[in-house]
Amino acid sequence: MKIGIIGAGSIGLLFAHFLNDHHDVTLYCRRKEQADAINEKGIKLINKDIRSVKKVSATCSLKSLVKEQLVIVAVKQYGIRAVVDQLKNVPMNIPLLFLQNGMGHLDDLKTLPYTSIVLGTVEHGAYRLSDHVVHFTGCGRTILAMYRGKSELSFTFAKQLSKQGFPFEATENYEKMLMDKLIVNAVINPLTALLQVKNGQLVTNPYYFQLMKSVFYEVANVLELTDQDDEFRRIVSICEKTGENYSSMCKDVMEGRQTEIDGILGFLLKKAEGKSYPLSLLKFLYNAVKGME
Amino acid sequence: MKIGIIGAGSIGLLFAHFLNDHHDVTLYCRRKEQADAINEKGIKLINKDIRSVKKVSATCSLKSLVKEQLVIVAVKQYGIRAVVDQLKNVPMNIPLLFLQNGMGHLDDLKTLPYTSIVLGTVEHGAYRLSDHVVHFTGCGRTILAMYRGKSELSFTFAKQLSKQGFPFEATENYEKMLMDKLIVNAVINPLTALLQVKNGQLVTNPYYFQLMKSVFYEVANVLELTDQDDEFRRIVSICEKTGENYSSMCKDVMEGRQTEIDGILGFLLKKAEGKSYPLSLLKFLYNAVKGME
């Protein structure tokens, strides 16, 4: 399959590296230097066991997007609007797959005229070490669900894209899928960004564990979760599994980049507007991360 | 006057340096290396305009405490208990002056059998650069008030100790004096420690300003302040005046030392126990700083 990936951050590089084995991937970068570096040196992936370089073609021009059979949008949530403007040259029958965190981008997708829009949540841990090098810190799954279009399509894509060591799954309900991820992101990301700690420390440090618990309950109230204890256990288990990783928001703050706080806590605060949920901690974390940006 | 100063942190060094001009100061240190360094090299004070070294005698033995005419306790609030045990050799008529932040140490003082106990709040900005060097980052006042004993005594001491560039004042009401300082410490210190920023950023960064405001209102509620707007303006003005300083708690966290969080937020949380004030942010900040220690 001819796949275009827009955005060459950690997730774009990671997906290009893995999907290029069985597909014909083009990576669309914003900066020419990055496209040049990738074309010249390939995409290098590093983790404990692997150090592998794969040739992937990269470009700054969006012209060839029209030839793709699947376009994966792997920019950050706050970059969506700029990409959406550029997508107008893509034929409307080409399926689009959006991989953003949070739910803040759904409003932007509503107005897109494409017939098939897939959403995905990425559980992998990865961060970019340089323009063409990505550190793969933890393997999870990518889950797909249709936002618009035939439900089978997400299952077909999951089957086509899945490979050993880089699994895809599909699910029916995109809202539940995004929500599950949002809860995790809302609790782990802002806290680790503020405290500048690895995910695991939220569980191993008893004081941070208290913080996580109290933030979780505010999130759970806003989302009116009924199975709060189960949900909390799920988050704890994710912190444990990804204990040695820095969350993407923590990395963003460390490296002075914009974060996805608007799509995550911003979304929750907007959702809670006019209701009487206790929100002090979510507001506090929102302002703290905004202030750090 | 023969003055003993117990504790050779930033405040102990600062007071020894200034008071030794007109008084006979002995600085009581915990570590022999520090006493040796001070005896050998003097206490060096650095700020924008001044670089001065003064000879001050330092010792690790508390034997000569019995000869002092005033004993200043300049250890951190959490070090009070250990010092109180050592004070039992000091004659009970020697006045003691305690310079701790917060109000957490008042319980420890209650049981002390001394006839004259003075409390002081220090507005100076200072931090220790090495065992015998202190950075004087901002000149404020030291305010004295009697905790126990004749009220005139604090005024007499203020007059005796005050000197050009290192002023002392006295006031009648020790509770109001400590409370004024506690409010400032409760709002500025934990926030700056958590965010790792200078005091001024709480005012110049609009997001941090929101954080400060919301933390202030929780503090103001617990303390049932009636003049909340005036109080908030006072805190803002202190942030502005000390804009280039890191708070002592921020410094403590940066340098991996224990903080005074128990005497400050711990005290407020205890005070609010069983009442229905909103406390999410104070609890959050307490756990965050505890976790960082």
Model confidence over A94-134: pLDDT tens digits?
Answer: 999 999 988 888 888 988 889 999 999 999 988 899 999 99
Is beta strand B117-122 parallel, antiparallel or unpaired with respect to B142-148?
A: antiparallel
The three-state secondary structure class of B8 is: coil
CB within 8 Å: B280 and A280: yes
Looking at the structure of chain B, the number of domains it has is: 2
Q: Return the pLDDT at B74.
A: 96
Q: Return the pLDDT at B103.
A: 86
ipTM of the complex: 0.79
> Any idea what the CATH number is for the domain that residue A221 is in?
1.10.1040.10
CB A278 within 8 A of CB A221: yes
Catalytic residue, candidates B44, B76, B181, B251: B181
Q: Return the pLDDT at A59.
A: 97
A184 and A245 assigned to the same domain: yes
The H-or-E segment that residue B85 falls in is helix B80-86
- From residue A218, how far is each of A205, A214, A223, A272 by CA, in Å? 20, 7, 9, 10
CB within 8 Å: A207 and B288: yes
The angle formed by the CA atoms of residues B244, B250 and B254, to the nearest 5 degrees, is: 110
Q: What is the DSSP string of chain A?
A: -EEEEE--SHHHHHHHHHHTTTSEEEEE-SSHHHHHHHHHH-EEEE-SS-EEEE--EEES--GGGGG-SEEEE-S-GGGHHHHHHHGGGS-TTS-EEE--SSSTTHHHHHT---S-EEEEEE--EEEEEETTEEEEEE---EEEEEEES-THHHHHHHHHH-BTTB-EEE-S-HHHHHHHHHHHHHHHHHHHHHHT--TTHHHHSHHHHHHHHHHHHHHHHHTT-S-HHHHHHHHHHHHHHTTTPPPHHHHHHHTT---SHIIIIIHHHHHTTTS----HHHHHHHHHHHHH-
A46 and A155 assigned to the same domain: yes
- Residue A158 or A83, more confident: A158
- Residue A33: other Cβ atoms inside 10 A: 10
Q: What is the DSSP string of B100-121?
A: -SSSTTHHHHHT---S-EEEEE
Domain coverage including residue B18: 2-171
Phi and psi for B145 in degrees, rounded to 5? Answer: -150, 145
CB within 8 Å: A281 and B284: yes
Q: Return the pLDDT at A210.
A: 96
Report the length, in residues, of chain A.
293
- Residue A167: other Cβ atoms inside 10 A: 16
Q: Return the pLDDT at B128.
A: 92
CB within 8 Å: B210 and A280: no
B159 and B196 assigned to the same domain: no
Q: Return the pLDDT at B56.
A: 97
A293 located within any domain: no
Phi and psi for A56 in degrees, rounded to 5? Answer: -135, 140
Report the length, in residues, of chain B.
293
- Residues near B4 by Cβ (< 8 Å), separated by ≥ 6? B25, B26, B28, B64, B65, B68, B70, B71, B72
Task: Establish if B203 touches chain A: CB-CB under 8 angstroms.
Answer: no
Task: Establish if B195 touches chain A: CB-CB under 8 angstroms.
Answer: yes
CB within 8 Å: B288 and A205: no
Q: What is the DSSP string of B12-72?
A: HHHHHHHHTTTSEEEEE-SSHHHHHHHHHH-EEEE-SS-EEEE--EEES--GGGGG-SEEE
User: What are the mean pLDDT values of chain B's consecutive 10-residue runs (293 residues total)?
Assistant: 96 97 96 97 90 95 92 91 84 94 86 93 91 92 96 96 95 93 95 96 97 96 92 94 90 91 92 89 97 93
A151 and A42 assigned to the same domain: yes
Tell me the pLDDT tens digit for each residue of A139-152.
889 999 999 999 89
The three-state secondary structure class of B191 is: helix
The two tokens of residue B185 are 């410490």
Chosen domain end from A172, A207, A241? A172
Percent of chain B topping pLDDT 90: 78
Q: Is the dihedral of CA A215, A217, A221, A227 positive or negative?
A: positive
Tell me the pLDDT tens digit for each residue of A146-200.
999 998 999 999 999 999 999 999 999 999 999 999 999 999 999 999 999 999 9
CB within 8 Å: A194 and B283: no
- Residue B36: other Cβ atoms inside 10 A: 15
- Looking at chain B, which runs of residues are DSSP E strands? 2-6, 24-28, 43-46, 51-54, 57-59, 70-73, 96-98, 117-122, 125-130, 133-138, 142-148, 168-170
User: Would you tell me which residues 206-265 of chain B have a C-beta closer than 8 angstroms to some C-beta of chain A?
Assistant: 206-208, 210-211, 214
Tell me the pLDDT tens digit for each residue of B22-77.
999 999 999 999 999 999 999 999 988 778 999 999 999 988 999 999 999 999 88
Task: Establish if B288 touches chain A: CB-CB under 8 angstroms.
Answer: yes
Q: What is the C-alpha radius of gyration for chain B, rounded to an integer number of angstroms?
A: 19
> Any idea what the CATH number is for the domain that residue A80 is in?
3.40.50.720
Which residues does residue B158 pair with via DSSP β-bridges, in sequence order? none
**Distance from the A221 Cα atom to the nearest Cα atom in chain B, whole angstroms:** 15
How close are the terminal C-alpha atoms of chain B, in Å? 39
Q: Return the pLDDT at B223.
A: 92
pLDDT above 90: residue A78? no
B162 and B17 assigned to the same domain: yes
A190 and A168 assigned to the same domain: no
Q: Return the pLDDT at B277.
A: 86
**Distance from the A282 Cα atom to the nearest Cα atom in chain B, whole angstroms:** 10
A139 and A59 assigned to the same domain: yes
Q: Return the pLDDT at B84.
A: 85
Chosen domain end from A172, A191, A215? A172
CB B53 within 8 A of CB B41: yes
Tell me the pLDDT tens digit for each residue of B128-145.
999 999 999 888 899 999
Tell me the chain A residues in contact with residue B219 when contact means C-beta distances shorter than 8 Å.
Answer: none
Is beta strand B133-138 parallel, antiparallel or unpaired with respect to B43-46?
A: parallel
Cα separation, A103 vs A189, in Å, equals 15
Chosen domain end from A112, A144, A172? A172
Task: Establish if B292 touches chain A: CB-CB under 8 angstroms.
Answer: yes
Tell me the pLDDT tens digit for each residue of A205-262.
999 999 999 999 999 999 999 999 999 999 999 999 889 889 989 999 999 999 999 9
A28 located within any domain: yes
- From residue B226, how far is each of A82, B164, B239, B265, B268 by CA, in Å? 50, 36, 21, 20, 17
B19 and B163 assigned to the same domain: yes
A12 and A112 assigned to the same domain: yes
- Residues near B222 by Cβ (< 8 Å), separated by ≥ 6? B268, B271, B272, B275, B277, B279, B282
Task: Tell me, yes or no, if A290 is annotated catalytic.
Answer: no
Which residues does residue A122 pair with via DSSP β-bridges, in sequence order? A142
Phi and psi for A121 in degrees, rounded to 5? Answer: -115, 135
A147 and A255 assigned to the same domain: no
Q: Return the pLDDT at A179.
A: 92
Which residues does residue B98 pair with via DSSP β-bridges, in sequence order? B73, B119
A182 and A151 assigned to the same domain: no
Catalytic residue, candidates A2, A41, A55, A181: A181
Which among B208, B280, B290 has CB closest to A207? B290
- Residues near B180 by Cβ (< 8 Å), separated by ≥ 6? B121
B159 and B181 assigned to the same domain: no
Task: Establish if A269 touches chain B: CB-CB under 8 angstroms.
Answer: no
Q: Return the pLDDT at B50.
A: 75
Q: Starting at the edge strand that comes first in sequence, how are the strands of the sheet with B51-54 ordered?
A: B51-54, B43-46, B133-138, B125-130
